[in-house]
Amino acid sequence: MSDTRERRGPSTLAVHGGEPAVRSDRSLTTPVVHATAYPFEDTRELVDYMEGSRERPAEYGRYGNPTVERAEAKLAALEGGEAAVLMASGMAAITTTLLAMLRQGQHVVLTRDAYRKTRVFARSVLERYGVGVDIVEPSAQAVIDAMRDETRIVLTEAPTNPYLRVLDLAAVVKAASARRVKTIIDATFATPINMQPLAHGVDLVIHSATKYLGGHNDLLAGVVVGRAPLVAAIREFLGMTGAVLDPHNAYLLLRGLKTLALRVRHQNATARRLADVLAEDPAVARVWYPLRPDHPDHENATRYLSGGGGVVSFELHGGLAAGTRLVDALRIPKLAPSLGGVESLVEQPALMSFFELSPDQRAAIGIGEGLVRLSVGVEDPEDLEADLRHALAALREG
């Protein structure tokens, strides 16, 4: 498609990428095609299609859908990738990709600071099927040191969850490609607006499109972007496992994507502003925001990120109880998991993703009791700042 060759800006790609300039039905927007099957004209067309000499839509809904394909093409354009495959959720994208690419006896390296269910999947499912799993510190050196002869995949996030760590991608890619290891980045927190992992030589980019890409807290989706042959192999596997995206959600995703750059740039600016407010407050022990100079990976962040994203993590001196007081005093952000959408959301990881663990177990995996994760939406920054200052003041009075 021409829009991936002449590299346009992210908002132009978000609005026009992957969709035909003039549709055959002349409608400005992509229609939602609700169909399970795509009939053949006659047996001649069927045989030509099966032999590969005729281009036409896939014959059955599990193998493709025109609305989903437009959303895939738009995401490929935004990431500067050859191809993309959408799935029913971010976890569907992660698990399908790993199962498609790994076999018994192989080995995968993950980072400790990562989406919890990704690590749980690796430990509870991949290991059960005879794949070796190492989960290491989120640093390039730790990842490189963990690679061995059987290693097939390195999977890390950028920035990681919840500490927003940013690895030296070039170092990981260099070491991995020397060993013919595939690199996969879950770039959900970065979005294609803030980071372009494929341009740094990463093999596959995965997103939970549930977050920024959909952006309106109303759909679940996941996507894998990369070179066409690798994406085709994953799509083939998806044809068996079947966690395909529904066309209605594909339409919501297409619609949400059109404002991606506007939303993310606004969220970048607001999150940075709130991170600076938090860093000044005596109740706050520590703030993690990738583009602040006090972040441990600030150097990598400035190298790889053009914006710090909409998530700010911070640790309160007063531990779990202080976090609860702050969360309950906030009036605009809602108490909920997830992130990246238009509504601001806030949570204490100790009470959300890691609830069933003891404080000692949480400490062992680096989840502080006073940790709060704030995902900034697109509300007015002045209002969010006033709300945060009010909640911090309530904490002092508490």
Which of 188, 217, 249, 348 contacts ligand PLP by CB under 6 A?
188
Q: Which is nearer to ligand PLP, 202 or 283 (CB)?
A: 202
Q: Which is nearer to ligand PLP, 306 or 338 (CB)?
A: 338
Looking up tokens 């510190």 gives 137
* Whole-number Å distance between alpha carbons of 298 and 305: 10
Which of 222, 247, 349, 368 contacts ligand PLP by CB under 6 A?
222
Amino acid at position 273, single letter: R
191 contributes a contact to ligand PLP by CB under 6 A = no
Which residues are paired to 110 by β-bridges? 135, 155
**Shortest spacing between CB 207 and ligand PLP, in angstroms:** 8
Looking up tokens 């097939």 gives 152
With CB under 6 A as the contact rule, which of the stretches 144-152, 176-184, 203-211, 233-241 interacts with ligand PLP?
Answer: 203-211
Q: How many residues sit close enough to ligand PLP to count as binding (CB under 6 A)?
A: 14
**Shortest spacing between CB 117 and ligand PLP, in angstroms:** 6
Catalytic residues, by residue number, are: 62, 115, 186, 211
252 contributes a contact to ligand PLP by CB under 6 A = no
Q: Which is nearer to ligand PLP, 19 or 203 (CB)?
A: 203
Q: Which is nearer to ligand PLP, 102 or 283 (CB)?
A: 102
220 contributes a contact to ligand PLP by CB under 6 A = yes
375 contributes a contact to ligand PLP by CB under 6 A = no
Q: Which is nearer to ligand PLP, 322 or 372 (CB)?
A: 372
Looking up tokens 């499109």 gives 209
| CA distances for 383 relative to 212, 327, 331, 364, angstroms | 21, 16, 10, 37
Q: Which is nearer to ligand PLP, 139 or 188 (CB)?
A: 188
156 contributes a contact to ligand PLP by CB under 6 A = no
95 contributes a contact to ligand PLP by CB under 6 A = no
210 contributes a contact to ligand PLP by CB under 6 A = yes
Is residue 217 within 8 Å of residue 338, measured between CB atoms? yes
186 contributes a contact to ligand PLP by CB under 6 A = yes
**Shortest spacing between CB 70 and ligand PLP, in angstroms:** 20
* Whole-number Å distance between alpha carbons of 11 and 303: 22
115 contributes a contact to ligand PLP by CB under 6 A = yes
89 contributes a contact to ligand PLP by CB under 6 A = yes
* Whole-number Å distance between alpha carbons of 241 and 225: 18
**Shortest spacing between CB 285 and ligand PLP, in angstroms:** 24
* Whole-number Å distance between alpha carbons of 216 and 249: 12
161 contributes a contact to ligand PLP by CB under 6 A = yes
* Whole-number Å distance between alpha carbons of 358 and 376: 29
90 contributes a contact to ligand PLP by CB under 6 A = yes
267 contributes a contact to ligand PLP by CB under 6 A = no
Position closest to ligand PLP via CB? 90
With CB under 6 A as the contact rule, which of the stretches 64-72, 76-84, 185-193, 358-366 interacts with ligand PLP?
Answer: 185-193
Q: Which is nearer to ligand PLP, 184 or 392 (CB)?
A: 184
**Shortest spacing between CB 94 and ligand PLP, in angstroms:** 6
288 contributes a contact to ligand PLP by CB under 6 A = no
Q: Which is nearer to ligand PLP, 207 or 258 (CB)?
A: 207
With CB under 6 A as the contact rule, which of the stretches 74-82, 204-212, 235-243, 285-293 interacts with ligand PLP?
Answer: 204-212
Nearest one of 159, 164, 379, 167 to 273, comparing CA atoms: 379
Residues that bind ligand PLP (CB under 6 A): 89-91, 115, 157, 161, 186, 188-189, 208, 210-211, 220, 222
